[in-house]
Structure 1
């Protein structure tokens, strides 16, 4: 039997002894949405029978609205991400224009230095203008958001209270789910337990984050972002949720958005090694190799043996054709972890770029023993074999 058929709800009309059997979905209706057979006999909702359904349809409606709500929130988040992207583009332009190092000055001619001087002298006026414009735009946006919040009566919502027993049970389930995620690496089982926790307390912030992180570990990055966003609705400054979202975006090659979100995480913890790597890797993905090296070095100042950061630095150096230094960095990574895939791929490509095909093949063969169906490695290996045939 469908579990929803077991639901018993007393009719809102206290004079009726029957349970609710029907539900009304007419938007303009002012009567109680839930009603019993006696209500129907009395002519309630008689004017719009096309909008009357069995009680079980209530749950289909709730599930549909939940999905539409998620879709709306995702669209709003993307709109705000675009705002942040434009903002950080502005910040980057300001830094490039007005923060000139002594080393850069030494490499400029007199005409270029004169141009810089003219611009910097006008900086005070520019600063005043931009601060006024940003403050005005920010205030207008906040006012509009606050008006929407009030108009939609979002401050008055209180459909139900989560009981103390539900909160306690939800926490117990979260702890069980976290153990499956962190210690046992059983991500699908963790998600099943976390879903139980969230049914009891949908605002359990750590359960929301842990589900997002488990989805990320299963390579379900879009789903991970959805659940990280739900966690951030509860606590917009939760560091782990910010990092989970940023890293999921990076894995989807959405590098500009990654930088937006990882910067939020780094505002909370500026020395988080993995976040620094995520930013470095995203900058590398955008072709900003010098910047990537700077951020990889920041990660390496915290952990000199962080293989992912060493790999990102080496790839950036290779793209800048600093082959000798790139090889040194790769070898440092492989000393820490001889089976680090990114480093094996990077070393293979570096050797291939220098026409050292036999040595490159050794790296690619080792990588394929670890991940045998990796198409990029197979393609590079075939390129080396073809090059050797032509010698």
Structure 2
């Protein structure tokens, strides 16, 4: 209370020389809510004296509203997340039911082939009926948001405007944070600087996406998605933020959702190598290996030395039992980077699948030198040793 007692606020009435002493909390009041001694003497709020409070209560109110506002935003985000989850589930089910490559179709038995073909005939009808339904639902939701934006009456206020000085200060802090993020890979310290930048300008796109990607690099994927979403509210086509969200979803095992966001980003930049790889990797995890190879190849057209894309292609070929081609691709990756972790274990697994257990052990050992605690590789190593001892 001591700090607020020392706070001086000018009376909104320019003709009054005294500072504000009393505030009015009556919801229906149309007069100035901040009052000096002269305002009180004029009896402007005499009809609702019970709603008048000393100035310190104003700051308690502001603090309370700030907390309640943040709680509301968190709740709204949760509601949107729930809707997104249902949407992603729908996308995944549609893709699973109607998208089949030639090879996937040939892998079905004749009864399954007949069933898939019968359902595919009805696809146009399904598309037309459900697209109309979804579009109308989205329009209703957008209309509700437009009305709410209008009800907020932001156009009547000017306190939300940011000064040029604040914008410049925010940008200077972003540059300092970016150096920590990009040059030094010091993501924790970078986040602290980005937070300072966002105090001056909460809509600084660069600071928002860099904070999101710093969180992703620290393995805090849910938090990364939340901050990428904040940036996408400012710029829905910001490719780096779209990638950050897609890559984070992939790491969380939400592969259908990752593909949806990768596709959005690829509409902005069709030759974004990391996005192409992200889609390929998500398809591979969904066992859509033919499609994964197609998208890995697109990434490799952009960057022929992209080891992660080579690994994804190789692993998909292995799962399709195309061992020779798989080995050729993984060798390309290991020539570029002999210590590429994923490529090392992938070669080991490819050799193991071909009963070349002794050779497989060599590559599992190399991978374990990089990541000694990887239990999956340890289990595969044990399988190889057991197979050798049984010979």
Bin the TM-score by the shorter chain: 0.7 to 0.9
Q: How many angstroms apart in 2 are the aligned matches of 1:167 and 1:7?
A: 29
Question: Please, which moves more after superposition, 327-336 or 13-22?
Answer: 13-22
Please state if 1:356 is matched with 2:348: no
Q: How many angstroms apart in 1 are the aligned matches of 2:314 and 2:6?
A: 61
1:121-200 matched pairs, under 5 angstroms: 129=129, 132-153=132-153, 156=156, 158-200=158-200
Q: How many angstroms apart in 1 are the aligned matches of 2:124 and 2:322?
A: 40
Please give the per-residue CA displacement for 1:146-182, whole angstroms capped at 9, x wherever unaligned.
2333344456554332111111111111112112211
Helix, strand or coil at the partner of 1:74? helix
Q: 2:24 touches 2:51 (CA, 8 Å); kept in 1?
A: no
Q: How many angstroms apart in 1 are the aligned matches of 2:105 and 2:388?
A: 43
Q: How many angstroms apart in 2 are the aligned matches of 1:275 and 1:283?
A: 12
Please state if 1:61 is matched with 2:64: yes
- What is aligned with 1:210? 210
Q: How has the CA–CA distance of structure 1 residues 179 and 104 changed in structure 2, closer, same or farther, with 3 Å as cutoff?
A: same
* TM-score normalised per structure 1: 0.79
Q: 1:259 touches 1:279 (CA, 8 Å); kept in 2?
A: yes
Q: How many angstroms apart in 2 are the aligned matches of 1:214 and 1:103?
A: 39
Q: 1:197 touches 1:207 (CA, 8 Å); kept in 2?
A: yes
Please state if 1:81 is matched with 2:48: no
- What is aligned with 2:334? 334
Please give the per-residue CA displacement for 1:20-63, whole angstroms capped at 9, x wherever unaligned.
69897x9x6859887899999x999875899x975664565355
Q: How many angstroms apart in 1 are the aligned matches of 2:204 and 2:154?
A: 20
Helix, strand or coil at the partner of 1:177? helix
1:278-317 matched pairs, under 5 angstroms: 278-317=278-317
Q: 1:5 touches 1:56 (CA, 8 Å); kept in 2?
A: yes
Q: 2:12 touches 2:34 (CA, 8 Å); kept in 1?
A: no
Helix, strand or coil at the partner of 1:10? coil
Q: 1:345 touches 1:377 (CA, 8 Å); kept in 2?
A: yes
Question: Please, which moves more after superposition, 223-232 or 313-322?
Answer: 313-322
Q: How has the CA–CA distance of structure 1 residues 138 and 66 changed in structure 2, closer, same or farther, with 3 Å as cutoff?
A: closer
Please give the per-residue CA displacement for 1:347-374, whole angstroms capped at 9, x wherever unaligned.
1222233333322222122112222333
Unmatched 5+ stretches in structure 1: none
Q: 1:21 touches 1:54 (CA, 8 Å); kept in 2?
A: no
Please give the per-residue CA displacement for 1:63-97, whole angstroms capped at 9, x wherever unaligned.
52454244234324424524642664576479649
Q: How many angstroms apart in 1 are the aligned matches of 2:283 and 2:241?
A: 21
Please state if 1:72 is matched with 2:75: yes
Helix, strand or coil at the partner of 1:321? coil
Please give the per-residue CA displacement for 1:282-314, whole angstroms capped at 9, x wherever unaligned.
111222222212211221222222111111122
Q: How has the CA–CA distance of structure 1 residues 364 and 119 changed in structure 2, closer, same or farther, with 3 Å as cutoff?
A: closer
Shift of 1:187: 1.5
Computed over aligned residues only, the root mean square deviation of the Cα atoms, in angstroms, reads 4.2
Q: How has the CA–CA distance of structure 1 residues 356 and 136 changed in structure 2, closer, same or farther, with 3 Å as cutoff?
A: same
